[in-house]
Chain A
């Protein structure tokens, strides 16, 4: 779905979201409240400039509109793969964006992510995955790499990977698999505006993704291992 159609469906009460070089920003009305909207479009790679622009919009919201919820619309092919970005420290720009979102959360801003097209690797880690809850449209693409690339790197035959991926969501891309692993809160179908409103009401600042992954059977070990670390040797020598 293109971003204009998307935001019209998400925010039927009105919005002023504009696009500039694949960076989306503006505000929108959800029920009785105004929300800040940031995002990207056209699968754009996240380079240092777009990361910086998103961070700027988050900081401006924290400074000028205390408590205003923030919605992040995700469509990216991942981090930009250029020497210049690495030379200037793209990891610092990504971290900065992530920290700005975290600061907003700590100051009481609800943060909702929505993958409406593509979400890959480094472009996702400091956007949708930093939200209180990240949602996805059912046909969204979410992955680090596709199965053919994974077969090349792991030297496991593609046929075997494809077979394994049917039963283990950790191997295969896709919004449904990220739902099973707890990385995506829910898939949205039907009335998007209604679901956005509900998501804002339900937003929880605590990271419960590992527990969700366990409940849904897509990441069976993560939560248990975290708990085991918390309890290991508790009668020990601290």
Chain B
């Protein structure tokens, strides 16, 4: 069983899909690179940090993208973002069975931030277009860089999110918050606090992520396949009913937990026994305990 965390984006996408079925769009041989990084004399990557294409997952044709955390932290630039948008639009045009986004990113790539910001909003709209076509979008988060910035928003536009215990999902990174408002606001070196605040288990307990898996590619593969079935069993596209339900959940979250200072208080409030031990639990043991107490959709 190979670690999802330690694999590159390219390795993840190949290992996640049925062996030998992945077909890449705009592969590195095409050398479509960022013109802006070149201007800044910064090294470029021949895939601009994202692998896109299609392949089969348990026989079903899925369209997939994997960001490379190792290149500029998976940051979204003009070309990187356009590859994601192109993939999403093509998934609709070709009638894919599902879209998998293997996200690992700090958000907008700061070297080309203005283009990156527009690109992330284009990705967001394209994700919702895919859902509107009745095609489920599944997000996987388990890379070392987590899923931050605008892509943290995009992730929550998908039908399902699967995270490993090591995965992190948020908007502004702890370093950004510490820089803006001081170490008393958020100590970015307090790893346990960072993990409690942004980590997969907290997101699962709040209902913002739908499945927690162990850090291996097979577990992600199984969960992704299940997630497609789960999404297709319900309404894939946005509906007023879904969003009114979400509005209520998010309102209740502020009312109930708005005064909490630490996620531990939230977990205790949810009735999780021995909340302090949550960080130590393996994925399966955690899920067994969490399911009786977590908010939002059932796993």
Contacts and interface: CB of A to CB of B under 8 A. Distances in A.
Contacts of A130: 121, 124-125
A226 B82 contact: yes
Contact of B86 (A90, A99, A125, A230): A230
B254 A48 contact: yes
Contacts of B203: 89
Interface in A65-110: 79, 81-96, 98-100, 102-103, 106-107
Interface stretch (B2-10, B242-250, B279-287): B242-250
A238 B110 contact: no
A52 interface: yes
Contact of B52 (A56, A142, A229): A229
B148 to A, nearest CB: 8
A182 B208 CA distance: 32
Interface stretch (B11-19, B168-176, B222-230, B270-278): B168-176
A222 interface: yes
Chain A at the B interface: mostly helix, strand, loop or mixed? helix
Interface in B96-138: 108, 110-122, 124-126, 128, 132
B123 to A, nearest CB: 10
A138 to B, nearest CB: 17
Interface of A: 48-49, 52, 55-56, 59, 62-63, 79, 81-96, 98-100, 102-103, 106-107, 121-122, 124-126, 129-130, 142-145, 150, 153-154, 156, 164, 168-173, 177-178, 181-183, 207, 209-210, 213, 219-230, 232-233, 236-238
Interface of B: 23, 25-26, 32, 35-36, 39-42, 52, 54, 61, 78-79, 81-83, 85-87, 89-90, 93-94, 108, 110-122, 124-126, 128, 132, 149-150, 152-157, 169-172, 174, 176-177, 180-181, 185-186, 197-198, 202-203, 206, 208, 238-240, 243-244, 246-247, 250-251, 253-254, 257-258, 260-263, 266
